[in-house]
Every structure is written in C-alpha cells, then in structure tokens.
Chains A and B, each alone.
Chain A
C-alpha cells in the first residue's frame, strides 16, 4: 500500500514532533540534574516516578525537595518562557517585516512590567485583578502606543523596510520603564524595591508549581496560534498587501497574532520579569537552521527557545558559585555574540 503525499507529510511531521518533544524532555531533565549540588539522572527519574506514578523508591527527602519543589518547576518555567518569548519574537518579525522586532525592543515587555508593578506595588485594581492580567493590560497598552506612534511618524505597522516601528518601540520602552521606576519609587518600600529590581532583570528563582500551570497552557496556546496561522505568516514574506492578495485577512491576522504575542509576553513577564534577546535572537537562529517556512519555523523556534532558556538558567545558577545571576545577563552575554555570528554568516548565505 502506498501512502498519499499528505499522509507522508503527516508521518514525517509526527516523527519530527516526537524528536522535538524528546529533546525538550532531555533539556528539562538536564536542567533538573545540573545545579550547585549535581543530582544523578537516576535519582531525578526515581523522584518523578514516585511523584507522578506513585512508585516507592527510597530517596533522600532533601533531594526530593530540591528536585520537585525547586528545580523541576524552574526548568519547566524556563522552557515555557523561552519558547513563548521566541515565538512572540518570530511572529512580530514576520508580521511587521522587521528583523529587529521583538517583544523587548517594541516595548511590550516594558509595558507588561509596568502593568505588573502597578498591580503588585501600587495596588491597582485593589486585589481584584491578578498580576498577569495587569501585565497583559500594560503589554497591550504599550504596543498600541508604539503602533500609533509609528503610524503617526509615517512608518505604519505594515509597511516594510522602515525603522519607524523600532524607533517608536525604543521610545515606548523608555516611557514604560520610566513609569515602572516611578511607581516603584513612589509606592514600594526599600525591601520591595530591591526584590522588584532583581525581578525586572529576569529571575526564575520564584518559579513554583502554580506558575507552571499558568505558563504551560499559555506557551502551548501561543505555539498553537502561530501553527494555525503558519501559512498566513508565510504569506507576509512580500508585505501586507501581497498577503492580502493571497487571501489573508490581514487586519484580523495582525490583531489576533499580536494579541496572542502580548498575552504570552505579559504572562511570561509576570512570572519571570523581562528577559531580553530571546525573542530577537532565537527566531533568527531557527530560520538559519530550518528555513523560513512557519510550519517548521514555529515549532523549531519554540524548541530552541526552550532549550536556550533552560541552559541560560543553569548557567545563571552555576557560573558564580553561591550566587545567582539575573538570567537576562546570561541571555545577553550568550545572545549578543550568537547574534553577531548569525549576522555575519547570514551575509554569505546562498
């Protein structure tokens, strides 16, 4: 019996999907094993078996505590944030036709920080709205402002090859970062202020299971949205008008996908603070590896983003013994040179 072309495509997709998921599991396990106290994989697997399948391996309760309450949720959160931010960057780069677009540069992360701080520190909403919701409102407000500014400056969100949206994003970032500082200085006490400043630079040490149950669905929803719209994103290759003539409802796709981007960024920022460079660098690395088609690029971006942030988190915990670096420092230290390499190699690409 011979297979039809679409069946073959499904099977090869299934194969790649399984491989990708396996890589993700390995990365999460590695993130759980490596740390200041290295824990053997066997202990980690036995702990997981005890917790998930109710096995009865005899283990050190301290190991169990480190693995189950601390490192595993942290690794899962890192994976979700890495993939969510990378996917967001990819969507923005494709929709705006701008290689520099990313939630951090366009002010979305800054807006989310302001929203989160307004809720937690200034007590906006009097406890009725959550930090994530505040972050989402901030993210949407920031992007709306940036988009309006870019349009007023004559660039528009859709015209390609213009730097207006990035310039507007820089202005928006500065404004919202200033607002964040203003709120912190006005409303936070000294101890709060120190904690928030550390969180703003990106910090996974507060990651616990309730955060996992928020981050995992949001990351999956983000990936599902960009997979569903993969062909529409492909069609933006020659600009928005070309996409429109190929049957893409441009306005609707832009609103839906930028909305998802704001949601994913906001949730990730509310959990780990704002982490730069992931959304900018990872999509370019993924394009370099698997090409520009979003059907493949989306999952690849998510996977590389997840692996990258898990690695960055491990480095941030182990690089200086006894100290935890803000993860944003690691992503920038690794990301900047990686980006330089991509730029230089991309020039000579056939």
Chain B
C-alpha cells in the first residue's frame, strides 16, 4: 500500500474529467492503466503525482496525505514522466538528466560525484550513453522520451509514474524500456495505449469516462467483452506458438 487514492476526482469548469477513483498500488508492482483517448489517464497520473490538486478525495503516499507534503519530499519519492514535455532551451542531454537530481540538492548541498554516478547509471539504463553532449533540439522523439525516462530514474524514486512511456519509441526500445521498468526495484504505474503491452503488467486498471471500471490481473480484466465495451473494438485472442502466451488482435466493431 505504498500509493493509494480515495474517491479521487478532478473537474475543470464543472466538467468532471476523473470521478471517484479508488486505487491501491502495492509495493514493487507494475500497474498498467489503459483506456481510450480522453478517459482521464493523464489527469489521473497528474493527480497521483501531486502536480494537480484533486477537486475531491485525496492521494496518500506511504500513508501520508500528498497535499500536506512539501514538493521536495514528494519528488524524492515519486518521479513522473509526462507526455510531450518539450523545451526551446538549448540544453544538452546531460543538462536534462541532471535535472532529476533537483529534489536531492539544495543551494547549500551542491552537486557531488555521487550525483554524476547516478546520472551516468540512468543514461546507461535507458541506452543513452554517449549522448551526454548532444543538444535537445537534435534528438528524435524516441530519444527525447528516453532522456525523460533517464531524468525520472536519476530522481531515484520509490514510485515511478509513467504516462505513455513507449510513445515515439521503436519496437526494440519499447520492449527494453518496459522490461527495465518491470525489473527496477520500484513501484510503477504506467499509462499504456497498447493493450498487448498491458498484458505483461502485474495488474491492469481500465479507465472509461473518468472512472476506474476494472482493476485486477491482466487476463481477468482485459476480457474480449470489456475491450468491446470500453474501446469499441472486437478483439480476438491469439496464442503465440513460441511460448503459448496470449495476445490480442483487434477488428472494427461492426
């Protein structure tokens, strides 16, 4: 019960975006969040990260209310990978990943060699070694995504919140990033578009219209009926002859 949400809601100009979400995330698990566009995935992630204040309910980290904690203390526990965070600054890859150390540094406690080692490890984990001096503007979308992930890793969080981390990535890096997240000794909540990727999470939550309509092990939650109801597509289950695992293929509903 490292991260929990009770009756969590957020609305903008009276329009509810996330409504009544109750969620308990267990230590060290990887929880996938799926749902169609506009189902409230990104908003829920921002509420869990504490960078938006809920209009109802609350989020607790290790039993402590998130809204009562200083931002620095939150950032030492939770790292959040946003979708499409961009900059026009002429920053380098190293500059961007170094930012991950922000919650651990103060004006009186400057950068140390240990911070350099942590940043180097984060770059290695995301396969971005050798890119340190490259400027942000010259990176591809997938490389930018990996730098963002390296920044989140450099935060050395106990909880990783990743909003569509596989966006823009080629298939090799999609697999290696998800594999890395699964192996890291941290709790992760990952918003995903690819339902087949969600199958490899420990548990999956399904969002629809801002509500959490299902939560549990992937094969119990991601049924053909539910996919039909939530995503409006007809799914068929295929079996990989190589190892007997299941995967989905999708067809238009009509």
Contact = CB atoms under 8 A, between A and B. Distances in A.
Interface in B15-42: none
Interface string A227-258: 11011101101110110111111100000000
Interface in B112-138: 112-113, 116, 135, 138
B74 interface: yes
A177 to B, nearest CB: 29
Contacts of B107: 227-228, 230-231
A248 B71 contact: yes
B51 A245 contact: yes
A322 interface: no
Nearest to A244: B51
A247 B66 CA distance: 12
Contacts, number: 95
B90 A234 contact: no
A10 B82 CA distance: 34
A23 B162 CA distance: 47
Interface string B35-61: 000000000001001110000000000
Nearest to B85: A238
Contacts of B102: 231-232, 234-235, 246-248
A247 B96 contact: no
A190 B68 CA distance: 59
A6 B110 contact: yes
B174 to A, nearest CB: 22
Interface residues of B, number: 38
B91 A245 contact: no
Contacts of B50: 244
Contact of A246 (B89, B103, B110, B116): B103
B90 A349 contact: yes
B113 A247 contact: no
A290 B86 CA distance: 22
A5 B105 CA distance: 14
A321 interface: no
Nearest to B105: A231
Interface string A298-330: 000000000000000000000000000000000
Nearest to A10: B110
A337 interface: no
Given A5-B113, A228-B107, A237-B99, A245 B90 contact: no
B158 interface: no
Interface residues of A, number: 35
A231 B100 CA distance: 11
A122 B107 CA distance: 44
B245 interface: no
A170 interface: no
Contact of A237 (B70, B74, B96, B116): B96
A9 B91 contact: no
A139 B90 CA distance: 31
B10 interface: no
A160 B88 CA distance: 10
A300 to B, nearest CB: 15
Nearest to B113: A5
Interface in A1-43: 4-6, 9-10
A238 B86 contact: yes
B72 A237 contact: no
Contacts of B75: 245-247
B74 A350 contact: no
Given A245-B75, A245-B80, A246-B75, A99 B88 contact: yes
B155 interface: yes
B71 to A, nearest CB: 5
Contact of B79 (A245, A291, A292, A350): A245
Of B76, B80, B89, B110, most buried by chain A (CB within 10 Å of CB) is: B89
B171 to A, nearest CB: 26
A238 B102 CA distance: 13
Contacts of A241: 46, 51, 82, 85
A91 to B, nearest CB: 14
Contacts of A245: 49, 51, 75, 78-80, 82
Contacts of A291: 90, 95
A8 to B, nearest CB: 10
A151 interface: no
A246 B70 contact: no
Contact of B87 (A6, A230, A238): A238
A208 interface: no
B103 A293 contact: no
A330 B46 CA distance: 48
Nearest to B77: A247
B87 A237 contact: yes
Closest 8 CB pairs of A and B: A247-B75, A247-B103, A245-B80, A238-B85, A247-B72, A5-B113, A246-B102, A244-B51
Given A245-B49, A246-B75, 9 more contacts: A4-B112, A6-B111, A9-B110, A97-B88, A161-B86, A230-B107, A234-B102, A239-B85, A245-B82
7 contacts: A5-B112, A235-B99, A245-B78, A245-B79, A246-B102, A247-B103, A350-B138
